[in-house]
Amino acid sequence: TNSAYDSTKHVAESQQPSTNANMLVGDSAVRKSLSFQWVQVFGPRPEIKSDDAAFEYASVLFAAGISLLFLATKAHNAAQPGEPGEQLKKLSYNTFLQAAGIFAAAEKLVTTLSLPALDGVHDVKPALLKAMATMALAQAQEITVDRAISKNNAQSLICKLARDTCLKFQMATLTLDPEDSTTGGRLGKLRFYLRYKTFVYESVAFEYAGLMLAEKKNESGSSFGDAVAAALRAVVQGKMAAQESKKYA
């Protein structure tokens, strides 16, 4: 695969902005000098307010991460077959990595400065920020899977990439605060979306595992039954994905 699609996590970490949080540590007068108000993406309260500059800093990073996710998705959806489409996919891939780096930086800021929990505030919770960073990495990896399939790469490679993508979406799901992700609203829909994507890529992984087993059954000694079992598992995971899609749609 193209080097631009490799080392996803390493590249995402390099996208993290410098938080330069020293001026906000401790009882800094700068940290508590102003009051800030933001509109939440997640959470039951639409507007939230704090007199902590660390809250403002984390909220700005969160908003930047959400904007990058929107731009990355828009670029990917606009991609058509051909060279211009490939460039849009690379732009989308890199933008997803930038979003992952932004969310990771926000989580590090909130954790380092021990930002106190605010009632009804979800956007700057460390668990949600970590889940968003992991999700953005998974979305970047989706483009890698799509590219590997379109290039007719080896079935073993596609299976491995799909499995890795599945695990990233699964990790994002598990990272969410269980209480937050079962309360409904946008957080509930986020959880359903992550579960949907987990099942989709688990299905893809089993599909290509089945194809690989069917092709190599004589070499490896595996039976044709193993290939059929993998294919059936792919169908089951696909049906589960369809069920989850109805919940978040």
Q: What is the pLDDT of residues 199-248, one digit of tens each?
A: 999 999 999 988 888 877 655 555 677 888 888 888 888 888 888 887 76
* DSSP designation for 115: P
pLDDT band at 100 (very low <50, low <70, confident <90, very high): very high
Contacts of 211 (CB under 8 A, 6+ apart): 155, 227
Give percent above pLDDT 90 in the chain: 39
pTM flag (> 0.95)? no
In this model, does residue 103 exceed pLDDT 80? yes
Contact, 61 vs 106, CB < 8 A?
Answer: yes
Alpha carbons within 13 A on the beta-carbon side of 42: 27
In this model, does residue 4 exceed pLDDT 50? no
Lowest mean pLDDT among 47-56, 57-66, 200-209, 213-222: 213-222
Q: CA angle 68-74-78, nearest 5°?
A: 145
pLDDT (average), residues 48-64: 85
Q: What pLDDT, on a 0 to 100 scale, did the predictor assign at position 182?
A: 55
Contact, 199 vs 238, CB < 8 A?
Answer: yes
In this model, does residue 195 exceed pLDDT 80? yes
Structure tokens at 95: 């933008």
